[in-house]
Amino acid sequence: MSDIDAQEQQHMNVADQGETKRTDATDQRTDEEKETDRKLADRLSRIIEDANQKCLPLCNMIRKHIENMEAQKEEDRDENELVNAVKPLLQQAEQILNETNGAIRGADPDNRLSNKAKRNMQDHKATPEEQRLAEALKVMVQEVGGTIEWAKDKLDSFPKAKRDLGPLLDALGCMHSFVLSPSLILYSSPSSEPLTQIVGGVGLLLAGVLNLVGKLLSGLGLDSLLKGIVAATGLDKMYKGLGLGNLLKTK
């Protein structure tokens, strides 16, 4: 599991994961646009880091409760007890992610989420602020998204608990299930699969960040988590339609 206290040091290490082959010549943004993007990445980083600090302890407790249930003899297992322990943790996590999603929507500086201007998705060398944001989003996808998928798999052994907890896990965010169009990211209820919408929102605001996140997760063998979310939001198709498929290494 990631150590939240080490995030600031990790921010410095992400730089080596960036697109070092690109030069400033590929960046066609104005100085004003660069400064806007820098401030936006910094603000989004703080929002997601705050959510991580709140959510990761909940994820650890969810895993611990399920592992403790697994360790018990089958005749001693009380699935109602597991539900009572895990349900409030999932509800807390959902509330935190909903608040985070709302904050990301509120951080939109120039209506990018509604106009999806192509100029805001231009390829460029990652800035330190974008590298920091990528690290924070990587932690969220790895820990929160990873816990969702892990718990779903484990609950297959506990059918009663799965019946009660499965919908709560699904409500946090989809990894592989169905495709959301970008318009649903923008206009659907903020409480609809917040993890999926958080990643989708960042992808629409600062497209290149998702490529950095993919590199970080790939190094851990976890890039499938991000790919599942990106496919669920429809961002891969939208980027490709704008001629920006290389930002997500799509074809």
Predicted local confidence at residue 152, as pLDDT: 93
Predicted local confidence at residue 99, as pLDDT: 95
Task: Name the DSSP letter for residue 112.
Answer: H
Write b or e for each residue in 44-63: b if 16 or more Cβ atoms lie within 10 A of its Cβ, otherwise e: bbebbbebbebbbebbebbb
Query: Is the pLDDT reported for residue 146 higher than 70?
Result: yes
Write the single-letter amino acid at 150. Answer: W
Predicted local confidence at residue 219, as pLDDT: 77
Of 35 and 90, more confident: 90
- Give mean pLDDT, residues 173-193: 46
Q: Where do runs of H (alpha helix) occur along the chain?
A: 7-13, 31-71, 79-106, 112-115, 128-140, 146-154, 159-172, 182-187, 194-205, 208-219, 223-233, 235-241
Sign of CA dihedral 199, 205, 208, 209: negative
Distance from C-alpha of 226 to C-alpha of 228, rounded to nearest angstrom: 5
